[in-house]
């Protein structure tokens, strides 16, 4: 049997970090060797523990610097923290490409959510107008969600169905698709993509009801990143869709 993959979890005390530690611990081929929290020095830990894969579930304002540190140390990044913008993602991808280092940035590790995005992309070829409503818990730091932004990046509508988009309540419009963000206690992570055609509507809805739903995707990513030679954006890159 080959050596287990040595995994570091950054943000280990957080809600996603805790779940990740449990999932990594339970996987025979993964070894949880380091758990980092706010205040820990990332570069020192990577070197000290001989890390293969770093999983990051921290906060938006530090994830860019963390990811640069992983890449600099030739550690494969598995980035779940949301909030990276397009420019930052491109910069990180260039850094990883120069080193031929595999990694993943995934705004959503749930398989069901990836399927929702995939179906939305297919449906959008036939149903020309769309809006998104995403609902998350009240502690989420970014809005709209990374998943909503990723969904619209796969979609494009020629024009908005409604002409009255000057009101804030029409949402944030990306690729001619309004995104509406709801933040309330009780939600985990939920999204509806509503598409409309000629006198018909199609609603695709995905609900993450417990954070453990992200773990099969996180474990899959930990297992596969070493075989990649670039930093891919989205779990769909690891699934045979």
Rounded CA separation 176/156 (Å): 7
Rounded CA separation 215/222 (Å): 10
Query: Can residue 58 be called a binding residue for ligand NAP (CB under 6 A)?
Result: yes
Rounded CA separation 78/44 (Å): 18
Residues 95-124, one symbol each (x = binds ligand NAP by CB under 6 A, - = not), give: -----------xxxx---------------
Query: Can residue 144 be called a binding residue for ligand NAP (CB under 6 A)?
Result: no
Verify whether residue 136 is a known catalytic residue: yes
Q: Which stretch binds ligand NAP (CB under 6 A): 36-44, 122-130, 158-166, 178-186?
A: 36-44
Q: Which residue, 124 or 208, has its beta carbon nearer to ligand NAP?
A: 208
User: Following DSSP, what letter does each residue of 34-70 receive, concatenated?
Assistant: EEE-TT--HHHHHHHTT-SEEEE-S-HHHHHHHHHHH
40 preceded by a cis bond (ω within 30 of 0): no
Q: Which stretch binds ligand NAP (CB under 6 A): 8-16, 96-104, 150-158, 178-186?
A: 8-16
Of the candidates 95, 94, 106, the residue with the CA atom closest to the CA atom of residue 70: 95
Query: Can residue 221 be called a binding residue for ligand NAP (CB under 6 A)?
Result: no
Query: Can residue 82 be called a binding residue for ligand NAP (CB under 6 A)?
Result: yes
Catalytic hit among 66, 76, 129, 140: 140
Known catalytic residues are 136, 140
């Amino acid at each position: 049997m080959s050596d287990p993959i040595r995994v570091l979890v950054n943000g280990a005390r957080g809600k996603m970090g805790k779940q990740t530690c449990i999932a990594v611990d339970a996987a025979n081929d993964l070894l949880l060797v380091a758990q980092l929290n706010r205040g820990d020095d990332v570069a020192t830990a990577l070197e000290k523990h001989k890390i293969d894969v770093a999983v990051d579930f921290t906060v938006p304002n530090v994830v860019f610097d963390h990811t640069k540190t992983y890449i600099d140390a030739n550690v494969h990044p598995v980035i779940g923290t949301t909030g990276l913008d397009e420019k930052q993602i491109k910069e990180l991808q260039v850094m990883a490409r120069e080193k031929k280092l595999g990694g993943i940035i995934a705004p959503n590790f749930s398989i069901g959510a990836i399927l929702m995005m995939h179906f939305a992309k297919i449906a959008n070829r036939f149903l020309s107008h769309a809006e998104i409503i995403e609902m998350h818990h009240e502690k989420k730091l970014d809005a709209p969600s990374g998943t909503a932004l990723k969904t619209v990046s796969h979609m494009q509508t020629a024009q908005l169905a409604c002409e009255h988009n000057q009101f804030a309540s029409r949402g944030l419009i990306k690729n001619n698709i309004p995104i509406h963000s709801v933040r309330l206690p009780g939600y985990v992570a939920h999204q509806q993509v509503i598409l409309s055609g000629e006198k018909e509507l199609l609603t695709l809805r995905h609900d993450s009801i417990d954070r453990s739903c992200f773990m099969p995707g996180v474990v899959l990513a930990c297992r596969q990143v070493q075989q990649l030679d670039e930093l891919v954006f989205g779990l769909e890159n690891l699934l045979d869709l």
